[in-house]
Structure 1
């Protein structure tokens, strides 16, 4: 979960959240508040009195509000810093200026902080747990099926043209769209993982139920 959140934030905001090592204090506070807020929001499904608690600002809803404030404060601060940074970069060709998603939105003159906060959090919510759970099941299945693991490893080595004893940095440098397009077996293994252990099973079940009703 921490590794996925780090990756998602790098893509969305262009910053290193450093959740795995925990050296970024503000990032650690955001991560804890974000996870707590997610859990408390899910608790509403079984708490019939959550609207009353929210109105009175007591119990779980009071805790949820505090954690949302921490999340908002962190995200708004990053958005402000990103806007200031991009305003100071006058050269469009400067590397790194438009690599993250937030910068792309700012390029389109989207400067409403609340809208940008919603965009950031939507991407985080959509990408964090789904990716983390899928990767967890994927590695679990690889451990259960070493023959599949061996085939995937051979395909990656063949596609990237690296040796089996290459460093992680050397492998990462060779992974791009061209090499990924050659990894058909890896793609199939990930697809099978999603079929066996869907990242959002409740949504899939609801869709299937509605589909059956149509007939």
Structure 2
């Protein structure tokens, strides 16, 4: 209510200027309707407020369409009171931001402020020395030995002991499962086990009450909506008085932090009780590196849960939907699975070239993190000539980049794993990846995702294990098209209802 009154007062103050401006520009606006550019008109004080507001619920798709029609694949969006945000789907600009001028583009105070209550000083919300330290310590967990252990013990155990039995029961019962939620539970168990040495047992057959998961969803949802607020003062006022969405966020974050703090305390006790651990996990490395502050360790736990739970589950959700829509791709994957039969698990998934390409193609169309923003430290000029003023937020747009005809050709809308593949002299598929600035799904440059290889191995193992035994059939009406929604990561709106059908053994 207070925000509404404040905004109304501001509009009344600006009304004379608005009337004059709108009258002056009406004819120009009408003439520009046929223009190939659909960049929204900007007015004094309010910027493109009305266009932004009317597209608030489909912001990702809206900005994608603008970028698709832009000659340079870049445009500037004017917000209230003269603030600006630059959007780009230009690979040269992305490389400039994430690599060659990395020093000039950082998370910045806006992003840190919006996400601080949830992520604190975790690796995804910091810059400078704190980021370097967390990345350096974390990097030890992503060597070949750790990846092999992750696939052979953690993922494979979760797959065979929990996921497969649950899917088998669904076949017998002919029940409908929300595959998106199941995959989130699966990924949550995995990241907790490999990163913290803790098993939350979220994917037990009984599907235990997921109070933490619900709180985590609320925290990511409400935190992401802060970014879309027209005036940051609005959510800050609500936070100060602990009302509305900010009250819900406070409750959710408290539950999330209590859960993460419990993991930290148990790990500290474990370290105190044992002179040496049988295995060293990510959390143990941080706690034995001299940083034993409980709040800092809690921030680390929350950040890695976000990275490990929401990204792979989002990618796999869309992957199984796309397989249903493209049976010829599923047939090729089944052929590959059959060809790897009998191989050790790690070697099997590492060598699944066609499946790897299909996953890349899925994330091209439905990236788990569809937008990412940086703030300019100093004035700059992007390679396409776009002027960037100090303090400007610059957003690179993986979702739009996956839909650019200039990058992917006229068939960009088609799901074609073959665009990632080449045949060698023997006629065998070999992977032909794109540079990370054309395909920044895992970021690029110094902030390139440490868990990229781990994510691929986990996803390929799930695909192999599930498709070998089951056919995933969406429990939806003919013509249904799922909606792509974005919080801090992407989701399939309303979940992904499926039925499982037993498949004749492909081995």
Give the shorter-chain TM-score range.
0.7 to 0.9
Indicate yes or no: 2:282 matched with 1:101: yes
- Across the aligned residues of Structure 1 and Structure 2, the Cα RMSD in angstroms comes to 2.5
Aligned to 1:80: 265
Per-residue deviation, 1:146: 2.1
Instruction: Show the 5 A alignment for 1:195-214.
Output: 195-203=364-372, 212-213=384-385
In 1, the alpha carbon distance for the partners of 2:308 and 2:383 equals 26
Contact conserved, 1:19 with 1:31, CA < 8 A, in 2? no
Aligned to 2:202: 19
Aligned to 1:113: 294
1:179–1:143 CA distance, 2 compared to 1 (3 A): same
Instruction: Show the 5 A alignment for 1:51-90.
Output: 51-90=236-275
In 2, the alpha carbon distance for the partners of 1:145 and 1:211 equals 38
Indicate yes or no: 2:174 matched with 1:5: no
Aligned to 1:41: 223
Structure of greater Rg: 2
In 1, the alpha carbon distance for the partners of 2:370 and 2:383 equals 15
The structure whose residues are more often strand, as a share, is 2
TM-score (norm 2): 0.35
Contact conserved, 2:257 with 2:302, CA < 8 A, in 1? no
Contact conserved, 1:2 with 1:20, CA < 8 A, in 2? yes
Per-residue deviation, 1:191: 0.8
What secondary structure, in the 3-state scheme, does the structure 2 residue paired with 1:16 have? coil
Aligned to 1:187: 356
Aligned to 1:50: 235
Contact conserved, 1:6 with 1:16, CA < 8 A, in 2? yes
1:153–1:41 CA distance, 2 compared to 1 (3 A): same
What secondary structure, in the 3-state scheme, does the structure 2 residue paired with 1:111 have? coil
TM-score (norm 1): 0.77
Per-residue deviation, 1:212: 4.4
In 1, the alpha carbon distance for the partners of 2:372 and 2:276 equals 44
Contact conserved, 1:4 with 1:131, CA < 8 A, in 2? yes
In 1, the alpha carbon distance for the partners of 2:244 and 2:256 equals 19
Per-residue deviation, 1:214: 5.0
What secondary structure, in the 3-state scheme, does the structure 2 residue paired with 1:201 have? coil
Per-residue deviation, 1:187: 1.0
Deviations 1:51-97, CA, capped at 9 Å, x for gaps: 111111111112211221111111111111011112222245x3xx3
What secondary structure, in the 3-state scheme, does the structure 2 residue paired with 1:188 have? helix
